[in-house]
Amino acid sequence: MTWFDLADGVHARRYEHLDQTLGLVVGSERCLVIDTGGDEVQGTQFAAEVREITNLPWTVVITHAHFDHHFGTAAFLPCPVWAHQRCRDALVREGETDRETWVRRFAGKPEADRLASARLVLPDHLLTDRVQLDLGARTVELIHPGLAHTDHDVAVHVPDADIMFAGDLVEQGAPPSIGPDAHPRDWPGALDRLLALRAGTIVPGHGDPVDRAFVAAQRDGLSRR
């Protein structure tokens, strides 16, 4: 586990499990937690690690509905939880099925019991396109760039720090994950919309932070599929 201190008040937390990267953006009045991990044990650990950096009240944003990005949310409650409208719909429709699938995949490992007992928390603040959040002396933007890894991906742009948290729109260390709910033909266009925001550092949902050239190369690879 490693903290990347990307800019003043902008941090990424790397975990060995699933090669996952979670995020934290700190303003003067509140902070934004970007994804919460795959179960409440990880969520509780991440919450404690956030508290080592800031005691400000937090808001959570879920980048998409896959289990490893949201089943730790209960550890942060009570707080506002943001996501795309279709993310909430997916959690209602498929959250328990997704949990059961991964509990079976983790059979015999501690992660199976941890995931089985985690609470499914539905987001209570929803967007369809984009919304700005005022953290105090810092504004971040939650952006849905279009169909891509899912139909409801949300990226987090931190303009004053020149940083973008991309969720699983971008992956480092492995090819992009193209599951049954992905839209590979539309994905390159979504990455173009993120690249147009000119962020110099992009934080993937899995792997180390990357630059614009890495994202452009990943876009080009998806375009050739």
The residue range of the domain holding 182 is 2-223
The CATH number for 215's domain is: 3.60.15.10
- Would the pTM of this model clear 0.95, i.e. be above it? yes
Please report the pLDDT score of residue 2 as a whole number. 87
Q: How many domains, the chain?
A: 1
pLDDT values of the chain reduced to their tens digit, one per residue, 225 residues: 789 999 999 999 999 989 999 999 999 999 999 999 999 999 999 999 999 999 999 999 999 999 999 999 999 999 999 999 999 999 999 999 999 999 999 999 999 999 999 999 999 999 999 999 999 999 999 999 999 999 999 999 999 999 999 999 999 999 999 999 999 999 999 999 999 999 999 999 999 999 999 999 999 999 998
| DSSP string across the chain | -EEEEEETTEEEEEETGGGEEEEEEE-SS-EEEE---SSHHHHHHHHHHHHTT--S-EEEE-S-SSGGGTTTGGGG-SS-EEEEHHHHHHHHHHHHHHHHHHHHHTTTSHHHHHHHH------SEEESSEEEEE-SS-EEEEE--SSSSSSS--EEEEGGGTEEEEEEEEESSS-----TT--TTTHHHHHHHHHTTT-SEEEEEESS-EEHHHHHHHHHHHHT-
